[in-house]
Chains A and B, each alone.
Chain A
Amino acid sequence: MLELLFIFLYVGLLTVGGGIVAIPIIQQEVVSRGLISLSDFIFMIGVAESTPGPIGINVATFVGYNLHGILGAFVSTTSFIIPSFLILLLSINTIKKYRQQRYVKEWFKYLKAVVAGLIMYATLTLMEIGFLTEQDLIDTRSLIILGILIPISIVLYKKPWAIVLIGGILGLLIY
């Protein structure tokens, strides 16, 4: 439980540029350590994207619950929120004052690139699982699902839950 507290304080501290960044960080800190399996984690991201609320909170709560029940969910969620909550609470006037400064603007630009890079990393990891069979060959069934989901997602990109749901149904039908 203490491990969970420290992991999520760390994840909360590093989550910059929006909650979605929590996904690659949790992947590195929780999944790579073997605390949660990758397929469990994928299921959690799917649920987090298709339920209401901030995605970061949804994932944090799910991971905590999975490891230590309702108390674990409480610990992971609160310790995930606390670092950035306190930083902003204490430094809002400083941020207001300096946010037009060139340094802050440059950091922000580079952080956007970091966010893009980290989400690409998370996506690459999922692609290994999603598109390759156990013999490291390309799985044609997953390509069929991808071929169906791409046009659907162009229409329904504002409804992530629908994309996840359709993906799940296609998985049931094809596999």
Chain B
Amino acid sequence: MTYRQLFLQFFKFGLFTFGGGYAMIPMMSRAFVDDKKLIDIDTMTDYIAISQIAPGMIAINMANVIGRHLKGKRGSFIAVAGVALPSFIIISLIAALVPNILDIPLVLKAVQGIVIAVIVLLSITVINLLKYLKQFWYLVIYAFGIAAVVFFFQVPIIIILLSAIISGTIQAYIMSKKDVPHA
């Protein structure tokens, strides 16, 4: 695979995938594992897991690790640029074509409906996450607590992230202590 092919492949993912990064995972898997047979399924499963653990967007992380697998560090850069560029172009065009769009009364009316649609979409994401979290009841309470303190007290999000790292570390530490007698 040449740099050019790599770029075009990721440009296509960026251009044709609706629904964000998660929707790109099966498309990338199909292209590189099934069609082109450039990456074996175990390695791809590994990459999907890494992309979710690492900070940043899933789609960008996938491009990063797959680009690296195929063409080294330069491949990473090219794949990431490829997957991000369609968004950049499309959104810039929309933003350029509709300056001051919210000054139009009709658009403002539409936004009244769009906000409800966005609430529904975000709620779907929350419900899916809660389905995963419900096996750990304390995490469900923790999630609601986070929503409350950020909403009512504007606690900076960096503090929330630190609290998660600290709580996770403490819990892992306690669990490793508990395991010692059984070992």
Contacts and interface: CB of A to CB of B under 8 A. Distances in A.
Q: Secondary structure at chain B's binding surface: helix, strand, loop or mixed?
A: helix
B154 interface: yes
Interface of A: 12-20, 22-25, 28, 32, 37, 39-40, 42-43, 45-58, 61-62, 65-66, 70, 73-74, 77, 81, 83-85, 87-89, 91-92, 95-96, 99, 102-127, 129-130, 141-142, 145-146, 149-150, 153, 157-161, 163-164, 166-172, 174-175
A57 B110 contact: no
Contact of B18 (A106, A113, A161): A161
Interface of B: 14-22, 24, 46, 49-50, 52-61, 64-65, 68, 73, 76, 80, 83-84, 86-88, 90-92, 94-96, 101-102, 106-126, 129-130, 132-133, 136, 139-140, 142-147, 150-151, 154, 156-158, 160-161, 164-165, 167-169, 171-172, 175-176
Contacts, number: 349
Nearest to A55: B20
A157 B80 contact: no
A106 B14 contact: no
A17 to B, nearest CB: 8
Given A57-B87, A118-B157, A103 B92 contact: no
A171 B88 CA distance: 28
**Of B112, B161, B167, most A-chain CB atoms within 10 Å:** B112
Closest 6 CB pairs of A and B: A171-B113, A84-B56, A117-B146, A167-B117, A53-B87, A120-B147
B64 A85 contact: yes
